[in-house]
A and B are shown apart, each in its own frame.
Chain A
Amino acid sequence: MKNCVDIEILKRRTKVNPLLMMEMITLYLQQTPSLIQSLKKGLKDNDMQIMQATAHKMIPSFSIMGIQGDGEIMSKKLVQYNAQLMAFDELEYLVLQLEMLCTQACEELEREYDTIKYGKL
């Protein structure tokens, strides 16, 4: 599978400061799983307000962390979700795709964290 995280973006953002890079990665790893859970809960409970608010909160993280792919576009689609314009299974698929992308990003960032921690940056 092709990597989705372009670590060069985080390096540029932190001026290759290992402590800042590790801090940013830690924040992403702490925040993202709970946002994904909130997104899935919103979908399960048919609470579109919480689902849209969660998707809204996820938008900046893709460009900040250098996550390639359609994460930002998918999040924006969720924010703009309109039941009359999008079928529920399409919405479910979108949430699943977003979850897969974020899970992959978390796995890659965990590896990057270890690389930085053990001085292989």
Chain B
Amino acid sequence: MTSEKINLFLVDDDAIFLKALEIQFSEKGKFYVETYSSGELCVQNLDRRPDVIILDYHLDGINKHAMNGIETLDAIKKFYPEIPVVMLSSQDRIEVAVNCMHHQAFDYVVKSETSFMRLQSIIANIFKIQKIQKELKWYMERM
């Protein structure tokens, strides 16, 4: 986390959903939001070190040659395994969620009217867990 703001990457090839989500996060004031319309662009900009990435599962729906969500997730985890990635999809199929978790996604959210609330709560949990892990490490080093 740089300064006080959370650096958030939003990745979706649906420009309307992306903008709607960007508006909601930007309103909160505590997020510095960067949006990307493809997995390739997200991966190219990973050196900007986002604190959290929100990634669409279906990035190759229309452009069959584009990286899909899982390929993007794998690329993120290969270079920066510590960055938490939350997957998003319009599909509420359990196998999609399980697949995301197998590829080390932090969580999975179905696109709906309440997805912003869910994402906010997940991001809060990410930082709670990171804080606990940091404290645990501090104690472990002194044992």
* A contact residues vs B (CB 8 Å cutoff): 13-15, 20, 23-24, 27-28, 30-31, 35, 38, 50, 53-54, 56-57, 59-61, 63-65, 79
Best-buried of B13, B14, B58 by chain A (most CB within 10 Å):
B14
If A15-B27, A63-B113 touch, whether A57 touches B19 (CB-CB below 8 Å) is: no
Residues of chain B from 1 to 28 with CB closer than 8 A to chain A in the complex:
13-17, 19-20, 23, 27
B15: chain A residues within 8 A (beta carbon): 27, 30-31
Q: Does B91 contact A (CB under 8 A)?
A: yes
B113: chain A residues within 8 A (beta carbon): 63
Q: Does B61 contact A (CB under 8 A)?
A: yes
B118: chain A residues within 8 A (beta carbon): none
If A27-B15, A60-B16, A64-B16 touch, whether A53 touches B23 (CB-CB below 8 Å) is: no
Q: Does B120 contact A (CB under 8 A)?
A: no
B27: chain A residues within 8 A (beta carbon): 15
B90: chain A residues within 8 A (beta carbon): 56, 59-60, 79
* B contact residues vs A (CB 8 Å cutoff): 13-17, 19-20, 23, 27, 58, 61-62, 64, 90-91, 111, 113
A28: chain B residues within 8 A (beta carbon): 16
Dominant secondary structure at the A interface: helix
Q: How many A-B residue pairs have CB under 8 A?
A: 52
If A61-B14, A63-B113 touch, whether A56 touches B58 (CB-CB below 8 Å) is: yes
Are A64 and B62 within 8 A (Cβ)? no
Pairs A-B, 5 closest by C-beta atoms: A53-B61, A60-B17, A27-B15, A64-B20, A61-B16
A31 to chain B, nearest CB (A): 5
A15: chain B residues within 8 A (beta carbon): 27
Are B20 and A24 within 8 A (Cβ)? yes
A56: chain B residues within 8 A (beta carbon): 58, 61, 90-91
Are A57 and B58 within 8 A (Cβ)? yes
Are A20 and B91 within 8 A (Cβ)? no
Known: A24-B20, A57-B62. 9 other contacts (CB 8 A): A14-B23, A27-B15, A27-B16, A28-B16, A54-B62, A59-B111, A60-B14, A64-B17, A64-B20
A35: chain B residues within 8 A (beta carbon): 62
B15 to chain A, nearest CB (A): 5
A54 to B14, CA, bound (A): 10
